[in-house]
């Protein structure tokens, strides 16, 4: 069989036909040349060299963005609780971080916030540092014993009076806030405490936050209806 194929190939060549190398029974080798291997490796190295900085930048952006991620998480949980329990909740901003809890007072001060956090850690805090002993100013008498023999309406969702979550900002963070009624941004430093209140309907005041870190700056806007981020600008340093 091989001899017949060789004779056929010889007769074709003698007749002037050129046999393509892919059809030739005598292929000199199967594989890649050294030049092909070098070119392939060069392409791989170039692609890897371009991908590493990209992944490194994404990782640095994710780490720098952690305070924004935590604020979004707290805002979502605060809004859900306000709607579910039909009473206002708040996110308090202070120099050291964010605190989500029931809405206490529009005049919440840093000293009261510090006491609130310390008592939360020890489990000895009062429900509302600005309320009387019955907390009637906070829940409109919801905690009092009903003074009627008439049938009561079905009991709503269980109220979690002791819920609180907070996030401590990294040391390199500085930030400012601007609510829709503010004429200028307010640096959150020193004794400043700003409240972001979520109503029982789930609506909150639109908020603009500017956060500055050593590795990046963020300008974030939150909407009024869902507390979602509606605009975000990131500048990696």
Does 56 fall in a domain?
no
What DSSP string describes 128-157? -TTS-TT-HHHHTTTTSPP---SPPPPP-S
Structural domain of residue 92, as residue ranges?
A: 65-131+162-236
Q: What is the CATH number of the domain that holds 89?
A: 3.55.40.10
Residue-wise pLDDT tens digits, 48-88: 666 555 555 566 667 788 999 999 999 999 999 999 999 99
pLDDT at 54: 55
pLDDT at 139: 45
pTM for the whole structure: 0.64
Does 212 fall in a domain?
yes
pLDDT at 5: 54
Give every residue of the chain whose pLDDT is below 50, as ranges: 12, 17-19, 22-24, 26, 129-144, 152-154
Instruction: Domain count for the chain, please give it.
Output: 1
d(C-alpha 193, C-alpha 188), whole Å: 7
Does 155 fall in a domain?
no
Q: What is the layout of strands, in order, in the sheet containing 186-187?
A: 186-187, 174-179, 207-212, 216-222, 229-236
d(C-alpha 75, C-alpha 51), whole Å: 35
Name the percent of the chain lying above pLDDT 90: 41
Q: What is the DSSP letter of 125?
A: -
**Residue 1 to residues 11, 57, 107, Cα–Cα distance (Å):** 15, 64, 101
pLDDT at 6: 57
pLDDT at 49: 64
Does 119 fall in a domain?
yes
Does 166 fall in a domain?
yes
Does 139 fall in a domain?
no
């Amino acid at each position: 069989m091989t001899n017949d194929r060789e004779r056929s190939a010889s007769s074709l060549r003698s007749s002037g036909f050129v046999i393509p190398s892919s059809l030739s029974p005598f292929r000199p080798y199967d594989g890649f040349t050294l030049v092909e291997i070098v070119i392939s490796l060069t392409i791989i190295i170039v692609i890897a060299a371009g991908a590493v900085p990209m992944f490194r930048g994404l990782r640095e952006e994710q780490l720098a963005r952690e305070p924004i991620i935590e604020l979004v998480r707290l805002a979502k949980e605060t809004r859900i609780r306000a709607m579910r329990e039909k009473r206002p909740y708040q996110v308090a901003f202070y120099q050291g971080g964010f605190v989500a809890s029931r809405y206490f007072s529009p005049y919440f001060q840093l000293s009261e916030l510090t006491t609130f956090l310390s008592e939360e850690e020890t489990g000895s805090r009062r429900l509302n540092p600005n309320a009387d002993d019955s907390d009637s100013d906070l829940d409109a008498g919801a905690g009092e014993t009903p003074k009627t023999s008439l049938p009561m309406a079905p009991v709503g969702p269980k109220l979690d009076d002791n819920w609180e979550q907070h996030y401590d900002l990294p040391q390199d963070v500085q930030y400012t806030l601007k609510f829709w009624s503010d004429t200028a941004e307010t640096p959150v430093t020193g004794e400043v405490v700003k409240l972001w209140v979520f109503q029982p309907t789930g609506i909150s005041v639109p908020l603009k936050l500017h956060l500055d870190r050593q590795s990046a700056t963020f300008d974030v806007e939150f909407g009024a209806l869902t507390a979602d981020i509606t605009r975000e600008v990131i500048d990696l340093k």
